[in-house]
Structure 1
Amino acid sequence: MSSDLTSKRNSVPNPSATLFDWFARTASVVALLCFIAVLTQTLLRSTPFGKSGWPTALLIITAALTTLCSMSRQLAGQNVLLAATIVAVAGGIAHAIGVITGIPFGPFAYSSGAGPMFFDTLAWPIPALWIIVLLNARGVARLILKPWRKIKNYGLFVIGVAAVLVVLFDLALEPFATRCNGYWVWLPTKFPWTWNGMPLINSLGWALVSILTFAFTTPSLINKQSRSRKLPPDFHPLIVWVLLLALFGTSSAVNQLWSSLALCIGTALASTLFALRGARW
């Protein structure tokens, strides 16, 4: 009798879980539609959806939401929110300091195309952008390193690979954000080497801030359940990663930025191949 009651309780749908699934799926659909809208604008070099900024703004918001929802399927919600808060605050502070001092990314300034500003210093999408980049980079790194998840220094390797992916992603993002859309501009520096107008010290800044941020967020992102049972690989970070690189690559091709296009293609292919290989283990 008691077993029958237990099975009936387990068979009753959880309203909270049902609402969460509905929200996550809705956010994913909206994110995909926004991706298609931004991709269409990029290909047509026009604004068929009225004001040109809203599809990109909505894409950033929904991509961040779907990232957090995907992580919440395998981690406690409060842990995911804590990690997201740390990433958003750390990235936002780093960029605000960068605008004022030029450290650690090099001297740059936001244009009106970046949208509303926090305290006339930080463009509003930047904290959400850091959530998208860092948390999905970590997800891809975990897929790549899945065969070595039981080694002693696995966590350090995840941080290292994720930081490399973040730097590659930023190199792909820069031409899209600066030369194609004008969200921010790089100011003259004494450094002789640049990447599509970006001083290469920017890559060092992204790497350092990413490593420090990963060091603080990793304790809240450890899935203790994976030690007791094998969980299926989460391909959501890889999907977000490849789609955004495809968008940046398309923009580079339309604007004839061939070195940027090659970087986008190479990064997407390498990430996909290594992630799929690692996920099979």
Structure 2
Amino acid sequence: MRKHPFWALLAALILTQICYPLAGGGTRAALTVSTVLIGYVFSVTHAAATRGPRAALALVGTATLGGFAVEAIGVATGFPFGTYDYSGELGPKLLDVPLIIPLAWTWMAWPAWLAAIRLARSAPMRVAIAAFGLATWDVFLDPQMVAEGYWRWQDPTPALPGVDGVPLGNYLGWLGFALLLMSSLSAVGGRHIKTPGHADAPIIALWFWTYASSVLAHAVFLSLPASAVWGAVLMGIVVLPLAVQQVKRR
């Protein structure tokens, strides 16, 4: 697969996300699902095309299957994210988990990993940076989805100041699972996923777009100013150094 289909997938994803704050109700839920589906295809096909089948299978095994497993455990037991449940707006469920949810883990795990391998040389640092990047993306994701009523916690306290509805323990659960996910991906993905590639630009652009668009959407369009600030600061810890690095290289 050549590079240009990835730019087309990125354009489709961006267009879908731009439409999100302009829509409402069932249309907004459909756009949410569409965004995740596009993002999933984007990340998995990019992994396969640039790193080979082993990398794609490693991504699916760790993020898709692993993501489903941890969500099923979480819904059933309250560990590691707290006691929560999903509404029926995000499509069909298995074990009370919407099937779209593990696809979202996969969609963002790949750009988080590719960003990390540009920022660190040692395997432990790569895993830590990738896990932190993925977990801090959730500082945008969960407040937005809770505000839409797609899922809810039974006891959402204590929470980040100004970000009601999402307990602090959820973010710790995200970080813990993200560390496990990235450690597994690093271990089984092969040597090719540990080296930056020339065809990674669309995925790195996705990483920057996700950060910038999330800050803008929360601050301006979704009336979630506190999560805009928290997300800008926390996810910015891993996004902004990469942006500086890319500017210097140019």
Q: Distance in 2 between matches of 1:88 and 1:172?
A: 20
- Which residue of structure 2 lines up, in the alignment, with residue 237 of structure 1? 203
Q: Distance in 2 between matches of 1:46 and 1:271?
A: 32
Contact 2:211 2:239 in 1 (8 A): no
Q: Distance in 1 between matches of 2:75 and 2:193?
A: 41
Contact 2:136 2:235 in 1 (8 A): no
Secondary structure at the residue paired with 1:103? coil
Contact 2:42 2:107 in 1 (8 A): no
Shift of 1:269: 4.8
Secondary structure at the residue paired with 2:152? strand
Q: Distance in 1 between matches of 2:193 and 2:224?
A: 45
Kindly provide the CA deviation profile for residues 181-236 of structure 1, in whole angstroms up to 9, marking residues without a partner as x.
111011126x5445422111111111111111222221333444988xx8547333
Shift of 1:164: 1.3
TM value normalised by structure 1: 0.76
Does 1:36 find its partner at 2:18?
yes
> Paired residues, what number?
245
Equivalent position to 1:136, from 96, 111, 118: 111
Does 1:203 find its partner at 2:171?
yes
What pairs with 1:4-43 in structure 2 (closer than 5 Å)? 17=1, 24-38=6-20, 42=21
Shift of 1:72: 3.0
Contact 1:175 1:252 in 2 (8 A): no
Does 1:118 find its partner at 2:94?
yes
Q: Distance in 1 between matches of 2:243 and 2:69?
A: 35
Q: Distance in 2 between matches of 1:225 and 1:175?
A: 31
Shift of 1:21: 5.5
Q: Quick one: structure 1 residues 255 and 226, their matched pair in 2 at CA, closer, same or farther if it must change by over 3 Å?
A: closer
- Which residue of structure 1 lines up, in the alignment, with residue 184 of structure 2? 216
What pairs with 1:166-181 in structure 2 (closer than 5 Å)? 166-179=134-147, 181=148
Shift of 1:75: 0.7
Q: Distance in 1 between matches of 2:65 and 2:137?
A: 20
Shift of 1:247: 4.0
Q: Quick one: structure 1 residues 170 and 272, their matched pair in 2 at CA, closer, same or farther if it must change by over 3 Å?
A: closer
Secondary structure at the residue paired with 1:198? coil
Matched AA of 2:182: F
Root mean square deviation of aligned Cα: 2.8
TM value normalised by structure 2: 0.84
Q: Quick one: structure 1 residues 276 and 98, their matched pair in 2 at CA, closer, same or farther if it must change by over 3 Å?
A: same
Matched AA of 2:48: S
Contact 2:40 2:104 in 1 (8 A): yes
Shift of 1:165: 1.2
Kindly provide the CA deviation profile for residues 91-111 of structure 1, in whole angstroms up to 9, marking residues without a partner as x.
111111111110110011101
Contact 2:7 2:202 in 1 (8 A): no
Q: Distance in 1 between matches of 2:205 and 2:3?
A: 18
Equivalent position to 2:218, from 230, 252, 266: 252
Matched AA of 1:100: A
Q: Distance in 2 between matches of 1:61 and 1:94?
A: 20
Q: Distance in 2 between matches of 1:176 and 1:127?
A: 17
- Which residue of structure 2 lines up, in the alignment, with residue 4 of structure 1? none
Contact 2:62 2:185 in 1 (8 A): yes
Q: Distance in 2 between matches of 1:199 and 1:98?
A: 14
Contact 1:137 1:166 in 2 (8 A): yes
Contact 1:70 1:236 in 2 (8 A): no
Q: Quick one: structure 1 residues 204 and 264, their matched pair in 2 at CA, closer, same or farther if it must change by over 3 Å?
A: closer
Shift of 1:140: 1.5
Greater C-alpha Rg: 1
- Which residue of structure 2 lines up, in the alignment, with residue 10 of structure 1? none
What pairs with 1:178-193 in structure 2 (closer than 5 Å)? 178-179=146-147, 181-188=148-155, 192-193=158-159
Q: Quick one: structure 1 residues 265 and 192, their matched pair in 2 at CA, closer, same or farther if it must change by over 3 Å?
A: closer
Shift of 1:142: 1.6
- Which residue of structure 2 lines up, in the alignment, with residue 9 of structure 1? none
What pairs with 1:95-114 in structure 2 (closer than 5 Å)? 95-114=71-90
